[in-house]
Copies of this chain bind each other. A is one copy, B any other.
Amino acid sequence: MPSKPSIPKGTRDFSTDEMLKREYIFDTIKKVFRMYGYQPIETPAMENLSSLLGKYGEEGDRLIFKILNSGDFLSSASDEDLKKRETAKLSAQICEKGLRYDLTVPFARYVVQHRDEIVFPFKRYQIQPVWRADRPQKGRYREFFQCDVDVIGSDSLLNELELIGVIDDVFERLNIKVQIRINNRKILEGIAEYAGAPDKIIEITTALDKYEKIGWENVKEELVNKGLNKNVLQKFGNIIQVINQNNRQKIEFLHSILLDSEIGLKGIEEIRFLIDTIDLIDLKSEVIFDLTLARGLNYYTGTIIEAKSADVSIGSICGGGRYDNLTGVFGLEGVSGVGVSFGADRIYDVMNQLDLFDNITSSSTEVLVLNFGEAEAKYALKILGLLRKLGVKSELYPDQVKLKKQMSYSDARKIPYIIIAGEEEIKNNELTVKIMSSGEQKKIPVNDLESFILSLIKPSE
């Protein structure tokens, strides 16, 4: 026999067991999205490369999977480029399409393309796979799902508040305890202004983030290496003392030092609104105003949001923020939006580690009817008809083989109830139900099947 076939590295098959767990996550997320008024869209796996390239930086462009044109793909390749093996130029000549790299750019493209049909504010969610030609490693795949939820066409901070509610609700339903951290790019800009280095926002934010891990002396050294002067360092020192204070203290302190920064004050006002109103929405999760949170600084323009598991150290499992110009790159200016993305793979890992998938197998077959031969199988078909009408997931073992084999199938599939209907049962219009957890067996008239089975199983569908 030839060697086993395989799949491309960085991709995965999902077994039935994994699928049921993953669907549980996706279904929970979807339910919450809909509960808050978000509606699904889907976009094609393939986008024109002209839509994708230049949106993710140089490194991102390299990680986009390109699709070879069909037919004579060399027809527009130049002799010289072929001879010189100009891969960059040639790839543009032989490929027009690529696989989507995230859901954000296709969403922006969608909004611009369909702007005349869309009702704004547009509350949409999108749960689809994306592909990246990244080097595969533990927890990093070349095909993975993103679950994005955004509202665009509204500036209101009520949207941020709602998304924080969505995050809290999703993780409450999944039984994952999280900390939600928020920050605001405008505050970070204000701090950079205050420190006298308005163009160094990224360096300063990175330094803030590192302070807890590497200490003040090391951070100072880094900042000096990055060309920041003594005056900046001193002001920076003022900020640092607030990092470990509570939300209110941070807001008041920053308000006092950012009085001269218009943008900084705007940021404070926004964070203050969120912290004030969060009390009204009855969250299960702790919300922390975290000055060191700096994800997506090159596209977020206001609020930044991130959630981490309180029990498993695995990085962010949800994150997002406010962007003021999502669609500008496709020619539609002035559309503001805010959104977050749930990381299904990490959520899966967290739930696995915390053993939170216990009750999921209920979506699998509940009753197996054993197969004792042709006459018995025909009798079984009627029983199955009754069960399925009740919404009980059930099946007949298809082959008339030894009981041992049928039982080991049942065990492997973890089917909780077995129905035995042999010659004697048929004669008396009865059947025997075996409860696998206890080993108990009970013979009942077929007419009692409905009440008996409904006393054991609560059909979910």
* A253 within 8 A of partner (CB): no
| Contact between chains at B4 and A112 (CB < 8 Å) | yes
| Contact between chains at B39 and A394 (CB < 8 Å) | no
CA distance A346 to B382 in the complex (A): 32
* A133 within 8 A of partner (CB): yes
**Which chain B residues lie closer than 8 Å to A14 at the CB level?**
40-43
Q: Which residue of B lies closest to A50 (CB)?
A: B5
| Contact between chains at B113 and A381 (CB < 8 Å) | no
| Contact between chains at A363 and B82 (CB < 8 Å) | no
**Centre residue among A44, A63, A385, A388 by max chain B CB count within 10 A:** A44
| Contact between chains at A66 and B65 (CB < 8 Å) | no
| Contact between chains at A70 and B74 (CB < 8 Å) | no
Instruction: Mark A residues whose CB is within 8 Å of B.
Output: 1-2, 4-8, 11-16, 19-20, 23, 31, 34-37, 39-48, 50-51, 62-63, 65-68, 70-74, 77, 82-83, 85, 87, 90-91, 94-97, 99, 109-110, 112-114, 117, 119-121, 123-124, 129, 131, 133, 142-143, 151, 154-156, 158-159, 161-162, 169, 277, 280-282, 330-332, 363-365, 368, 371, 377-378, 381-382, 385, 388, 391, 393-400, 409, 412-413, 461
| Contact between chains at B119 and A412 (CB < 8 Å) | yes
CA distance A363 to B114 in the complex (A): 22
| Contact between chains at B399 and A5 (CB < 8 Å) | no
Identify A65's interface contact among B67, B363, B399, CB under 8 A.
B67
Q: Least Cβ distance of A147 to chain B in Å?
A: 14
| Contact between chains at A72 and B46 (CB < 8 Å) | no
CA distance A1 to B334 in the complex (A): 13
Identify A91's interface contact among B7, B73, B97, B398, CB under 8 A.
B73
| Contact between chains at A398 and B7 (CB < 8 Å) | no
Identify A1's interface contact among B82, B117, B331, CB under 8 A.
B331
CA distance A399 to B413 in the complex (A): 52
CA distance A236 to B71 in the complex (A): 42
- Asked whether A393 and B8 contact (CB < 8 A) given A39-B364, A154-B398, A398-B159, the answer is no
Question: Chain A interface mostly helix, strand, loop or mixed?
Answer: mixed
- Asked whether A113 and B13 contact (CB < 8 A) given A83-B83, A154-B398, A395-B123, the answer is yes
28 A-B interface contacts by CB (under 8 A): A2-B331, A5-B50, A5-B51, A5-B331, A6-B113, A7-B48, A7-B109, A13-B43, A14-B40, A14-B41, A16-B124, A34-B461, A37-B394, A45-B45, A46-B65, A67-B99, A73-B91, A74-B90, A77-B85, A119-B413, A154-B398, A156-B398, A158-B371, A158-B377, A162-B395, A169-B388, A280-B381, A281-B385
- Asked whether A37 and B412 contact (CB < 8 A) given A48-B6, A87-B73, the answer is no
| Contact between chains at B68 and A40 (CB < 8 Å) | no
| Contact between chains at A133 and B96 (CB < 8 Å) | no
**Which chain B residues lie closer than 8 Å to A42 at the CB level?**
13-14, 19
| Contact between chains at B117 and A37 (CB < 8 Å) | no
Q: Least Cβ distance of A41 to chain B in Å?
A: 6
**Which chain B residues lie closer than 8 Å to A7 at the CB level?**
43-44, 46-48, 51, 109, 113
**Centre residue among A35, A87, A90, A142 by max chain B CB count within 10 A:** A35
Identify A117's interface contact among B15, B63, B66, CB under 8 A.
B15
Q: Least Cβ distance of A82 to chain B in Å?
A: 5
**Which chain B residues lie closer than 8 Å to A154 at the CB level?**
398-399
CA distance A37 to B208 in the complex (A): 55
CA distance A20 to B30 in the complex (A): 12
In the A-B complex, list the 3 residue pairs whose CB atoms are closest, starting with the nearest.
A37-B395, A11-B44, A16-B39
Identify A388's interface contact among B36, B67, B280, CB under 8 A.
B36
Q: Least Cβ distance of A228 to chain B in Å?
A: 37
